[in-house]
Each structure stands twice: as C-alpha cells, then as structure tokens.
Amino acid sequence: MAHLGRWDHDKYGDIYVSTPNSVTICDPADIRAFMGNSAVSKADYYRILEFTEIENTVSFRENEIASVRHRQVGPYFKPTHLAKMEDTIMDLGIMTIKKKWDTLISSSPNGAAEVNYCNDFVISAFGIISTLVYGKKVKELSKSDAATAKWIDMTMMYLSVRAMFLLLPKFIVFLLLWPWEHYYHTLSNYIDEAIDTRKALIKKLEDENRLNDKPVDMLQALMEAEDPESKIRMTREQIHGECMLMMHAGSDTTSHTIAWTVHLLMLYPEHYKRAVAEVRSVFAPDHIITYKECRAHLPFIEACIYESLRLVPVTGGLLPRVVPKGGTMIKGHYLPEGTIAFVNIAVANHHKTFWDNPHEYDPTRFLHNKELQHYILTFSYGKRTCPGRSLAWWEMLTVLSNILKDYDFHMPKDLTHLGPHVLNKYGFPKTMDFKQYIAVKPVNSERDCRIIITRP
Ligand code: HEM
C-alpha cells in the first residue's frame, strides 16, 4: 500500500509508532509471527481496492469471508490448472516478445535493435492476464504497443490516485480523477461485455450438448468457482470485481519483477554471464523453454528472480493489518486490540539480522541455502498470502529464461548514470529511481529501461 515512511526503520528501528493508532513492524521474525496469527485481519484501508464498492479477494477485511473466496478460486491458481492455460501464457508471454524482438533485429541493418524491455514485459503480462480474464485479446483497445503500455499505466494510476483521495467527498474525487476516468471505464465496460459474451457461449454449448468445449481460462474459473464447504458461488457483481482485481493484481506486479531482474542483471555482469551460460548450456537456440523445463534445469535463473523479489519487492509498501482481540506483544511492546500494524515488507527483505549483505544483489545466496526462498515476504505471509504466485512464477521464469538464451543484452552507451560502476551509498550498483503505483516501477522507464539486443 502506501510507501510513505518505507525507510523510517533506519531512524526508528524495528517497531515504531507511525500515527497515534498505528505502528510499523519491520523485523521478519516479528512479521512472520504476527501475520501467521489467523486472527490478524486486514485494515479498512483495503476499501480503496473495491473497484465497484463490492468486496473482493484483496479487500475482504474478515479472514473468514476471504477464506470462502480463497476456497472458491484457489484450485484455479494451482499449477495443475495453470497447465491447461499454458498455450495462452506462452503465446502472449514469451512468444509475443520474441516475435517483436526478432522482427526488429531482422529489419535492422546491423543486427542490433534498441527495445524498452519494461514496456514489452508490461504489455505481455497484461496480454496474458487480460486474455485469461476476458476470454479474448485486449490489444485492440489501443493502436500501438506504446499506447497499450500507456493505457495500462493510466488505469493503474487511476486506481492509485483514487486510493489516495477516496476519503474526500465524492465530487472532489471525481474532479481529481477525470483525466484518467475513461481509461478505467473502458476496462470495466470490457469486463461487462466479456461476462455477457461468455454466458451466451456457455448457454449455446449447453444447448448443443458440447460443454466439454468450454474455454479454460480465469473468466470461466470465476464463473464456475464454488466453495466446496458452503457451495457458495459468486454473483455477477462479484465476478466483475474479481476480474478487475486480477487485471491489477496480476499484471504490473509480474511484469515489473521481470523488468527489475533484467535491470539488476545489467548492473551485475557476473550474474548476467552466469545466467546466460546456464540456460545456453542446456537448451538450443529458439527452443521454447517450458515452465517445467525451467524448474527442472535452471536453478540459477530461478535464484535471480528470487533475489530481485527480495531486493526490489514490487509490492514493497506497507501492508496494514489489525491487531486482534486480546492484543499482541511485539519486541516487548504491548499492542492493544484494534491497533493498526503496518507490515514493512521492503525493510524485512533487507533486514540485517536475517540477510547477509542485504543491499547486494546476490542470487547465489539461494543456491547455498534453498530454505531462504521461504523467507522472502514479497508475496506476503499467512492466511492472506498471494494466490496468484504460481501464475506469476510461470510467466517470470518462461520469459526470462527464453530471452536470456536467445538474445545478448548490452546497455546503451548513453545510459551513463546507471551501470556496474555507478554505486549507491552502500557501495553496490545504484538501481534506477522508482515510484509506487500498485507495483514498484521505474520513474523514468522510457530512459532507463532501454537495452540493445542482438542475436548471439
Ligand atoms: C510477482 C508477482 C506478484 C507479487 C509480488 C504479488 C504480491 C502480492 C502481495 C504482497 C499480496 C498481499 C497484499 C496485501 O495483503 O496487501 C498479494 C495478494 C493478492 N494477489 Fe498477488 N502478487 C503477484 C502476482 C499476482 C498474480 C499474477 C495474481 C493473479 C492473477 C495475483 C493475485 C492476488 C490476489 C487475488 C491477492 C489478494 C489475496 C488476499 O488478500 O487474500 N497476484 N499479492
């Protein structure tokens, strides 16, 4: 959520009062103990993620109700179900990127092309999730790749700005948001249409006794999702809300993690070389590496992603939770029931009691100790952990491993303010500046996320 005060830890320590009724907690051990308590609930701040004023998976404050939704949608996020959507994930993910990059290289006189990898990852991740959610490609919403990237950015911006001003009177919020309003409404209307079209299709298949031909995607999953315990299904409004949520929760988070990984590999050439050597030693050029193959053969590339999830957690704001009945003790301080505890993921992922050289990008730490993977808090922890993490991993691994295999990357010569020799205050390569709108993303992606690609 908010990233204000993210680094106050340096000044105030592992637990500090943020406002009269709230504290921020930063020690990973405290966070795991606190979030692991199933009575801890989400704070009212999450209302801002209710797109149509209807609660959804992320905004439920009560864990009991959230559990029903997790049981309804959970099975559809399992790798076994995702495997049925593999064609869409691969076509709109790595294949879309490869097609674009190969065309650019083959039409270039010197076999080199400059691309903006951040935009390309955003478009492909959005392409995947929107196709899974709408049941059809969404690219037609804008005329060019740059326009699609802008359109996605604008809808995210709408939500973040709306979030900041939600407590103001409605007409003021409307005035503040009108520049972004139509981006958001295009998306919302598109979802309404998609639900109607899908309902009509299912009716037709039913009439023709061909229900086996029904599509396998997120929209279908949400329409069919049923809690095995209560047998409750979602209403149309709830399905709409979940579709909006999936688009936002599952798009920028995944694409920006891949972008941060490429950026970090450019800043740490020794890790870049090792990742490239690993993938090229196992797979032939232009073989499309599947998710299963990535998991079986590419431990270093996997470690590179874990390390960027740790070092630059895309969701690294403060997650607001409510202290349950009876209160709780943290670091010898008693927090009474109802206190808001902001969970500081970014600081926990850098905490020196747990991570050696926390400010260094060092994927090898996960090769030496696999257990460490479970201590990264970027997908959250406890009952309300991210249900979309397997889908995210599917996209991140297949995109990253295939591009590292099939293209050589070179930083553009004019990108002199970033590079292995431009150091931050900790003595490690300085990363590009970032801002946080839902995900942590570059402030100046048009300038900083350019890269020259060639074929090896
Ligand atoms: C690298 C990619 C991703 C990261 C780092 C990430 C991270 C997170 C985090 C930290 C939360 C907890 C938020 C909070 O409590 O305030 C969360 C929740 C959630 N995420 Fe993800 N996520 C990613 C990808 C996805 C994808 C691909 C989807 C689905 C398409 C998804 C769907 C959700 C949903 C529905 C929740 C709400 C769970 C609940 O509150 O019970 N996420 N995610």
First-to-last CA distance in the chain? 41
Predicted pLDDT of residue 147: 63
Q: Give φ, ψ of 32 to 5 degrees.
A: -65, -40
Q: Is 388 in the pocket of ligand 1 (CB under 6 A)?
A: yes
User: Taking 60 as the threshold, does the pLDDT of residue 2 lie above it?
Assistant: no
Per the CB < 8 A criterion, the answer to whether 407 and 102 are in contact is: no
Q: Which carries the bigger pLDDT value, residue 277 or residue 3?
A: 277
Taking domain 36-313+349-454, whether its CATH number is 1.10.630.10 is answered by yes
What are 133-160's pLDDT values in tens digits? 887 766 544 556 666 666 667 777 777 6
Write the residue with the smallest CA distance to atom 13 of ligand 1.
380
Write the residue with the smallest CA distance to atom 11 of ligand 1.
386
Identify which of 40, 312, 386 to mutate to test ligand 1's pocket (most ligand atoms within 8 A of the CB).
Answer: 386
What region, left, alpha or beta, does residue 357 occupy, with left being phi > 0 and alpha being psi -120 to 50 degrees?
Answer: left
How close is the Cα of 386 to the center of ligand 1, in Å? Answer: 4
Query: Residues near 369 by Cβ (< 8 Å), separated by ≥ 6?
Result: none
Predicted pLDDT of residue 260: 98
User: Taking 80 as the threshold, does the pLDDT of residue 409 lie above it?
Assistant: yes
Predicted pLDDT of residue 9: 82
Type of residue at 424: N
Q: Is 66 in the pocket of ligand 1 (CB under 6 A)?
A: yes
Predicted pLDDT of residue 5: 59
What are 105-129's pLDDT values in tens digits? 999 999 999 999 999 998 889 889 8
Q: Is 386 in the pocket of ligand 1 (CB under 6 A)?
A: yes
- Among candidate residues 21, 11, 42, the one with its CA nearest the CA of residue 343: 42
Predicted pLDDT of residue 163: 67
Q: How confident is the model at residue 131 (pLDDT cuts 50, 70, 90)?
A: confident
| Whole-complex ipTM | 0.98
**Rounded average pLDDT over 304-322:** 93
Domain ranges of the chain: 36-313+349-454
Predicted pLDDT of residue 419: 95
Predicted pLDDT of residue 177: 74
What are 350-392's pLDDT values in tens digits? 998 899 999 999 999 999 898 999 999 999 999 899 999 999 9
Write the residue with the smallest CA distance to atom 2 of ligand 1.
254
Average pLDDT, the chain: 89
Write the residue with the smallest CA distance to atom 32 of ligand 1.
388
Predicted pLDDT of residue 3: 45
How close is the Cα of 377 to the center of ligand 1, in Å? Answer: 11
What are 17-75's pLDDT values in tens digits? 988 899 999 999 999 999 999 999 999 888 877 777 789 999 999 888 999 999 989 88
How close is the Cα of 180 to the center of ligand 1, in Å? Answer: 24
What are 153-182's pLDDT values in tens digits? 777 777 767 766 666 666 776 777 777 777
Residue 449 annotated as part of some ligand binding site:
no
Highest mean pLDDT among 17-21, 116-120, 224-228, 406-410 belongs to: 406-410
How close is the Cα of 249 to the center of ligand 1, in Å? Answer: 6
Write the residue with the smallest CA distance to atom 27 of ligand 1.
250
Q: Measuring CA to CA, how many Å separate 178 from each of 79, 148, 181, 323?
A: 40, 19, 5, 37
